[in-house]
Structure 1
């Protein structure tokens, strides 16, 4: 694919995801009042709010925003399948998992949250989470209904 077409597609995806991104920016801004700090991560096509003060730990993606309770997304974490006891899997990098969710938002835009929730929410059964883990493991397959997915 030509670089021009790739950038045009990314720009359209960012625009399509903008309602969710606006919610993420609002949540991140509120978090900043309680100690969170923002960084732009071009590789992830996201603004990341580190030190987000709420939640059980980890990260939550909203459009092109990642709300992260820790200090770096470049940290190892376990997959959903591993956490659920479906077998031992090697650790993945949290940034890669969350980048997959950014891509998913850029495809589904404002439809992402309702579809994600209908698919099971934060759960090993959710194909969005399994696809994000797959992408973090091998660098492809971020789309939930594809064995290898577009990369």
Structure 2
């Protein structure tokens, strides 16, 4: 029966996910350390299958919003289901509908899984947290369209 057959590509996708998780492990350890420090100050942690990350909510430091470190998302609010503006919208370059913050951060998880320990230096060289950064624009595109989380990919 068709329902009993495994989905095509499941094993290769799982292997790619595992390799990406191992490759970005140094970044994830940094995120875990920051998340654990946040737990001492009242943050709460949960595993989000949807966002492919361990999420620390009510993380007590920072200007607000979220930051991804490997497969860890540090979020100052109560839920990643929060609506937010894209970087281009905030910069006045265009008008976009609001996006789900978790979708944007999930794109960064995928980007980390590709670049591993190279992600942070490459991200900073590309402009850091700004509309100029192609990683941020790609994460916004992914949150808007559900595809295209890699920079330069439509």
What TM-score does the superposition give when structure 2 sets the normalisation length? 0.94
What are the residue-to-residue correspondences of 1:78-89 with 2, within 5 Å? 78-89=85-96
What are the within-5 Å matches in structure 2 for residues 15-54 of structure 1? 15-54=22-61
Give every structure 1 segment of 4 or more consecutive aligned residues whose post-TM-superposition deviation is greater than 2 Å: none
Matches within 5 A, 1:110-149: 110-146=117-153, 148=154
- Cα distance between partner residues in 2 of 1:100 and 1:106: 10
Q: Which runs of 5+ in 2 are unaligned?
A: 1-7
Where does residue 63 of structure 2 map in the other structure?
A: 56
Answer yes or no: is 1:10 the counterpart of 2:17.
Answer: yes
Q: 1:99 maps to what in 2?
A: 106
Tell me the CA shift for residue 145 of structure 1: 2.4
| TM-score of the aligned structures, taking structure 1 as reference length | 0.96
Name the Cα RMSD after superposition: 0.7
Which has the greater radius of gyration? 2
Aligned residues: 147
Could you tell me how far apart the structure 2 residues matched to 1:45 and 1:76 are? Answer: 19
